[in-house]
Amino acid sequence: MVRRGDEPDPAQLSLFDAIVPAPVDEVAVAAPVDAPAAVAPAWQPPPQPVRFQHPRAQRQVRLGEHLVDYAFRRAKRRSIGFVVGPEGLSVSAPRWVALGEVEQALQDKARWILRKLHEQRRRADQARSARIDWRDGTGVPFLGETAVVVLDPRVTGVMLNAEAQALPGVPRLALHVGLPQGASQEQIRDAVQSWLQRQARRVFEQRCAHFAQALGVRLRRLSLSSAATRWGSASADGSVRLNWRLIHFALPVIDYVVTHELAHLREMNHSAAFWDVVRSVLPDFEHSRKALRSDALPALD
């Protein structure tokens, strides 16, 4: 797994994006810090005080009107590093850097830290609001649309029906699940999730075949993943793993992840040459990449 700032494993590269609930943001500053870092003026922290708490926090800092409890550790590195993830702020620093310099670096990066913490909180709220209530009539995202679950004991397994003409604002996809009205939430979830995974393999195989030919690469093995921290990975032996939950997204997003991983079979890195390979078949991939990072997936439990 490749994190921002890490050296890539030459045998395997992954598309790293935290899935539930959000991506991890990392920044490093030279240590010691001599001058404040440049900040983006477009974002302003909310005026009301907010407290952010990391579950393993050992230290606390006040950034403007906000309190931030953060996890701190000493590490073998040459700079002070900040990571903002779903749990909150983590700070790592070389052993020779004084705590006062760490505190100053936090103040210098206050705007970036607060912006990322607020983004993480917003994404967590979105993920909670997107939690699926497994019952008759619930909506499940499928290929960028909403499929409405219909409990129908006359059906064997799960069957998708598409209405040719749906009213504006009304989902056109009906997912008929062969269960009685009294089925438990766990039964409905397991039936729908199994169907989604089968559809994921079918779609991924089709898109991989298409883009492998377009890129001139040979895909030796495709497997599904349910990893919590990455959408896909590629190995030098020609193996690709794709997270089955990509099936929730519209096809352009799936195509971006497929292309990203297949491009690694030509460029086992994230260099400019690698992005040129991606752009050669998906010239506007940035739009799909943004959707992959910003759209909240529903919790399936």
Q: Specify which of 121-130, 167-176, 225-234, 272-281 reaches the highest per-range mean pLDDT.
A: 272-281
- For the chain, give the mean pLDDT: 83
Range in 10-14, 125-129, 225-229, 286-290 the model is least confident about: 10-14
Q: What's residue 275's pLDDT?
A: 94
Nearest Cα to Cα of residue 72 among 51, 94, 49: 94
Q: What's residue 52's pLDDT?
A: 94
Q: What's residue 204's pLDDT?
A: 97
H runs (alpha helix) in 130-222: 185-215
Nearest Cα to Cα of residue 211 among 115, 278, 290, 155: 278
Q: Which two three-digit tokens encode residue 39?
A: 């900040």
Name residues whose C-beta falls within 8 Å of residue 143's C-beta, 6 or more positions apart in sequence. Answer: 203, 247, 248, 249, 250, 251, 254
Residue 168 pLDDT exceeds 70: no
Listed in order, strand segments (DSSP E) in the chain are 12-16, 25-30, 51-53, 59-63, 66-74, 79-85, 88-93, 139-142, 145-151, 158-162, 173-177, 221-225, 230-235, 239-243
Domains of the chain: 24-129 (no CATH), 139-294 (3.30.2010.10)
Nearest Cα to Cα of residue 262 among 230, 221, 219: 219
Q: Which residues pair with 63 in a beta bridge?
A: 66
Q: Where does the pLDDT of residue 291 fall: very low under 50, low under 70, confident under 90, or very high at 90 and above? A: confident
Q: Which amino acid is at 172?
A: R
**Can you tell me whether residue 57 is helix, strand or coil?**
coil
Higher pLDDT, 16 or 75: 75
Tens of pLDDT along 7-33? 333 344 444 333 333 445 566 554 443
Residue 43 pLDDT exceeds 60: yes
